[in-house]
Amino acid sequence: MKETSVDYDPNNEKDYKPLEAYGLIGDKRTAILVGSDGSIDWACLPDFDSPSVFASILDPKAGRYYIRPVLEYKALQKYETRTNIIVTEFRTKTGVVRIRNFMPYIPNRKVPTAEIHRYVECISGKVELELLFAPRFDYGRKLPEFELSDWGLRAYDKDEEYSITLLTEIKMQVKENSATARFTISAGEETPFVADWGARTTHPVASYETLRQLRRVRKFWQDWIGNLKYYGRYQEQVERSLLILKLLIYEPTGAIVAAPTTSLPEWIGHSRNWDYRYSWVRDSAFILRALFRSGFMEEGINYFDWILQQFVESDIDEKDGLLKVMYGIRGEKSLPETELPLRGYMDSRPVRIGNGAVEQLQLDIYGSLLDAAHLYNEMGGIITITEWEKLQYLVEFVRKNWQKPDSGIWEVRSEPKHHTYSKVWAWVAMDRGIKIAKKLRIPAPIEKWEEVRNEIQKEVLARAWNPWLKAFTSYYGSSDLDASILVMPEVGFIDVKDSQFQSSLDAIIKHLVSGELPLLYRYLSDDGVGGKEGAFLLPSFWLVDLYAMSDDLQNARKLFESLIGMASPMGLLGEEIHPETQEMLGNYPQGFSHLGLVNAAW
C-alpha cells in the first residue's frame, strides 16, 4: 500500500474529507469509518443498520469523536499488517503520537453491544492533544445529555433510548452538548479510551483491558487471513480486500452488507445517494465466490443457512420473486425508503435510509446464488439434501419466470425491461442447477431444465443483438450499451473469442470508457433516476478478467495494476471513481469493488 501523510490544521478545518482519508474497523456486527485526522465520522451502533451515533461524514453537525493534536500536524494512517486494526500516527513539531483504533471481536456474542477502543501512546517528544466526544443519536436528530463520573462519562438521550459511555483517565468537561478535554502526553506514556455502546454506568477504563483485547483481536484477524490460498504477486492487495469483505459480514445471521454506509454520493452534488447497509442477494453471492476461491468456506455455510431460510416453496408463485432483491441483516423484507434532513456528504442530497429497490423483480439474483452454490460444491463444500430442495425451488422459479421483464442489475427505476444481463443469469441458474443435480446424483427434471437453458441462450443471442451497433445491448430492442454484458464469457454463456462478443466489447470500450484508462461507465442511458455518476469500478475488474481469458496478460496486468493504484492509501475502494480526478465516489468501502479485485487477482 502507498503510505501518504496528510497535513492538517485544527484551526482551519474543512467540513468534509475525501473518502480516501478513511479506514474501516469493525466487530462483525457493524463497521465504522476512522479519518486520518483522528476523527470517527461514521458509526452506526450496535449494528450496521442501527441509527447513527456519529455521522459527520453526512453533516458536520451529526456527531463525531476525535482525538488529535492541538497544533498543526502531519497524519499517517495505515492498518497493522494483516489485521483490521488502524494505526493513526500524528507528527508535530514537538513529538510523535500513535493511536491504535479497533473494535474487539467476541465470537457468538448474544448481547447487542459495541466497544470502540483507542490506545494512545507517545513515541517521542511531548504532544498536546484535544478530545471531542459529540454523539448525536438517531442520525443527528437527538442531542445527548451527559453524566460525568470519576471514570469518564455517559451520554444518553432524554428518553433513555440511546446510551454510550466514554471511559478514560483524562478529565473531561461538557459544553454545548459535547464533551471535551485537553491533555499532554510525553514519550513513553500511554492511555486508553473506550467508548462502550449500550452501557448505562461507567467503569474504570482499566477494566476493559484494552491491551489484552488488542492482542486478542490482532490474533483473530491474522489467524483468519492466514487461511488465504492466494500466493501471487498481489498478496497485500488481496489480503486487504478480503479483510474488508470479512468486515461486511453480520455474524449473528451470516448476512453480508453491500457497504457499511448510506448516501455517499455517486457524483458530488447530485442525488444518486442510496442506503447500502443491507444484504443484496447478488452482491452477497459474488462476495462468496471471492471468499470461496480464496479458501474461506465457513462464510458460505453461514450465508446459505441464512438465505435459504428466507423463502418457502409456496413463495414460488410470488409475482415479485421467490427471493427479495435484498434483505435487512436480520431477514427483514420491508425496508421503507425515507429521507433525512441532513446536508449530505459535500452537500449531496438527499440522505436516504431504507431502500425502495427491495420491491423490484431482478431475475439475475437466482443465477448468482446458484452459481455461488455450485462453486462451493466444486471446492469441497457439502450441499445437503435439504439445501438442495431449496436450491431446486430457485431453478424452478427461473424456469417459470425467465421470460418476464425485470429491473436488472442496476436497479433502474423506470419500466421493467428484458435486460440482457438478467437473461444471461437466468441461463446460469438453469446451467448450475443441472450441474449441481448431476454431481449430487439426485433426481431432478434435468431434461426440462436443459431445454429451457438452450431456449434462453438462443433467445439472447438473437434478441439482445443489435445488428446496427454490432453489439449485445442493455435490453431487447435497445440501442443502449451496458457494461454488465462483460460477464457473459466468465459465466460460460459465450466464448470470449466469439465474434459477436468481441464486437460488443469493442463497442463498450469505444462508448463507455472514460479517460486514458479503461474506467467504465455502467451505461449512458436514462434509468429513471436522474443525476450524474462516476465510473463504476467493478466492470473495469471484469475487463481485467476478459483480457486474462483472452491470453492478453500484458493488458490484464497493466489495467489491474492501474486499478489497485487508484485505491486509497489504506487499500480501500469505493463503488465508483471520478474518471478525471480519481476521487472515490459512492458508498465506501464497497463490497462489489473489493470482490472484483480479488477475483481479478486470481
- The string of pLDDT tens digits covering residues 424-478 is 999 999 999 999 999 999 999 999 999 999 999 999 999 999 999 999 999 999 9
Range of the domain at 149: 6-222
Looking at the predicted structure, is the pLDDT value of residue 156 above 80? yes
Q: Are 42 and 81 in contact (CB under 8 A)?
A: no
How many Å apart are CA 34 and CA 22, to the nearest integer? Answer: 5
250 CB contacts (<8 Å, ≥6 apart)?
Answer: 28, 29, 47, 48, 256, 257, 279, 329
* Helix runs in 441-473, H state only: 446-463
Q: Are 288 and 266 in contact (CB under 8 A)?
A: no
Share of the chain above pLDDT 90, in %: 92
Q: What is the mean pLDDT of residues 218-236?
A: 96
Return the closest-CA partner of residue 429 out of 495, 362, 384, 481.
Answer: 362
| Packing angle of the helix pair 537-549, 553-565 (nearest 10 deg) | 160
How many Å apart are CA 317 and CA 307, to the nearest integer? Answer: 18
153 CB contacts (<8 Å, ≥6 apart)?
Answer: 133, 146, 147, 165, 166, 172, 174, 179, 202
Domain assignment present for 181: yes
Q: Identify the band that residue 112 occupies on the pLDDT scale cut at 50, 70 and 90.
A: confident
Q: Are 343 and 349 in contact (CB under 8 A)?
A: yes
Return the closest-CA partner of residue 333 out of 305, 309, 351.
Answer: 309
**Bridge partners (DSSP) listed for residue 308:** none
How many Å apart are CA 114 and CA 208, to the nearest integer? Answer: 12
If one counts every other C-beta atom within 10 angstroms of the C-beta of residue 226, the result is 10
How many Å apart are CA 167 and CA 133, to the nearest integer? Answer: 11
Looking at the predicted structure, is the pLDDT value of residue 201 above 80? yes
Domain assignment present for 80: yes
How many Å apart are CA 540 and CA 592, to the nearest integer? Answer: 11
Q: Are 345 and 58 in contact (CB under 8 A)?
A: yes
**Residues of the chain by 3-state class (helix, strand, coil), percent to 5:** 35, 25, 45
**Bridge partners (DSSP) listed for residue 180:** 132, 173
Q: What is the mean pLDDT of residues 344-373?
A: 97
Q: Are 433 and 446 in contact (CB under 8 A)?
A: no
Domain assignment present for 450: no
Looking at the predicted structure, is the pLDDT value of residue 526 above 80? no
SS3 125: strand
Domain assignment present for 189: yes
Q: Are 55 and 62 in contact (CB under 8 A)?
A: yes
Q: Identify the band that residue 270 occupies on the pLDDT scale cut at 50, 70 and 90.
A: very high
How many Å apart are CA 51 and CA 58, to the nearest integer? Answer: 13
CATH of the domain at 21: 2.70.98.10
Q: What is the mean pLDDT of the chain?
A: 95
Least confident of 103-107, 241-245, 353-357: 103-107
Q: Are 208 and 167 in contact (CB under 8 A)?
A: yes
What is the tally of structural domains in the chain?
A: 1
Domain assignment present for 416: no
Q: Are 78 and 3 in contact (CB under 8 A)?
A: yes
How many Å apart are CA 537 and CA 585, to the nearest integer? Answer: 10
Share of the chain above pLDDT 70, in %: 98
Q: Identify the band that residue 372 occupies on the pLDDT scale cut at 50, 70 and 90.
A: very high
Q: What is the mean pLDDT of residues 536-541?
A: 96
**Residue 305 dihedral angles phi and psi, to the nearest 5°:** -55, -40
Domain assignment present for 543: no
How many Å apart are CA 77 and CA 35, to the nearest integer? Answer: 8
pLDDT tens digits along 10-40: 999 999 999 999 999 999 999 999 999 999 9
**pTM exceeds cut of 0.95:** yes
Looking at the predicted structure, is the pLDDT value of residue 209 above 70? yes
Looking at the predicted structure, is the pLDDT value of residue 3 above 90? no
Domain assignment present for 363: no
Looking at the predicted structure, is the pLDDT value of residue 529 above 80? no
67 CB contacts (<8 Å, ≥6 apart)?
Answer: 38, 99, 118, 120, 129, 130, 131, 193
pLDDT tens digits along 283-295: 999 999 999 999 9
Looking at the predicted structure, is the pLDDT value of residue 332 above 90? yes
How many Å apart are CA 193 and CA 201, to the nearest integer? Answer: 16
Looking at the predicted structure, is the pLDDT value of residue 528 above 80? no
Looking at the predicted structure, is the pLDDT value of residue 506 above 80? yes
Question: Residue 152 has what DSSP assignment?
Answer: E
pLDDT tens digits along 557-592: 999 999 999 999 999 999 999 999 999 999 999 999
Q: Identify the band that residue 82 occupies on the pLDDT scale cut at 50, 70 and 90.
A: very high
Domain assignment present for 414: no
Looking at the predicted structure, is the pLDDT value of residue 602 above 90? no
How many Å apart are CA 107 and CA 573, to the nearest integer? Answer: 27
| Packing angle of the helix pair 364-378, 385-401 (nearest 10 deg) | 150
* Per-residue confidence (pLDDT) for residue 318, from 0 to 100: 65
Written as nine digits, the cell of 348 is: 449531496
User: What is the DSSP pairing of strand 190-197 with strand 114-134?
Assistant: antiparallel
Least confident of 55-59, 135-139, 305-309, 425-429: 305-309
Written as nine digits, the cell of 556 is: 490484464
User: Distance from CA of residue 97 to its chain's centroid?
Assistant: 31
How many Å apart are CA 98 and CA 182, to the nearest integer? Answer: 16
* Per-residue confidence (pLDDT) for residue 525, from 0 to 100: 82
Instruction: List the Cα angle 426/327/416 in 5-degree steps.
Output: 45
Looking at the predicted structure, is the pLDDT value of residue 312 above 80? no
